[in-house]
Amino acid sequence: MSTYFKKLNEAWNADPNAPEPSVRVTGSRVVLEFTLNAFIFPQFVEDQRGQLVFSGVSRYRLGPTNDEGWAMGQCRFGHLAEWGEFYEVTGDLLLDHVPGGWNVVGTPAPAARHFLFYLRDETFECDAERWEFRSSIRREVGA
């Protein structure tokens, strides 16, 4: 069985230099927040934050591999997908090569889908039923 990647980020992406990802969990909902790429997407301003909101999550991880490890073939998907993109992965998920560091949030749902986002210094993966993209302006404390 082959592995298939459906690119999901159209007209947006994470900052290629300092995406500063963070994860927030509420029940079976996981929010990945990151700085958006204002360099090539003019609809965003510098330091604008984006969110991927996942619902019906069973597990997620934010950790290895970074861009250098990906370039050296150190991730389980190798060069099958482009670095820096957000995908839904179907087919063979290469589960015999799944890295550690998973956070279990809930019970796997029959309709769960596998999502993958290659960020600058780490990789985000998530098994969830749905996803949604949102953007907002970062507000600094004291500003």
Number of domains in the chain: 1
Q: Is 127 inside any structural domain? A: yes
4-18, 26-40, 44-58, 94-108: the lowest-pLDDT one:
94-108
For the record, the structure tokens of 28 come out as 């079976």
Which of the four pLDDT bands, split at 50, 70 and 90, describes residue 143?
A: very low
Q: Is 29 inside any structural domain? A: yes
Range of the domain at 119: 3-137
Q: Is 105 inside any structural domain? A: yes
Q: What is the CA radius of gyration of the chain?
A: 15
- Residue 22: the pLDDT is 96
Q: Is 142 inside any structural domain? A: no
Proportion of the chain above pLDDT 90, given as a percent: 61
State mean pLDDT over 8-34. Answer: 95
Q: Is 31 inside any structural domain? A: yes
**Phi and psi angles of residue 88, each rounded to the nearest 5 degrees, phi first:** -100, 130
Q: Is 74 inside any structural domain? A: yes
* Nearest to 30, CA basis, from 53, 13, 51: 53
SS (H, E, C) 67-96: HHHHHCCCCCCCCCCCCCCEEEEEECCCHH
**Phi and psi angles of residue 46, each rounded to the nearest 5 degrees, phi first:** -55, 135
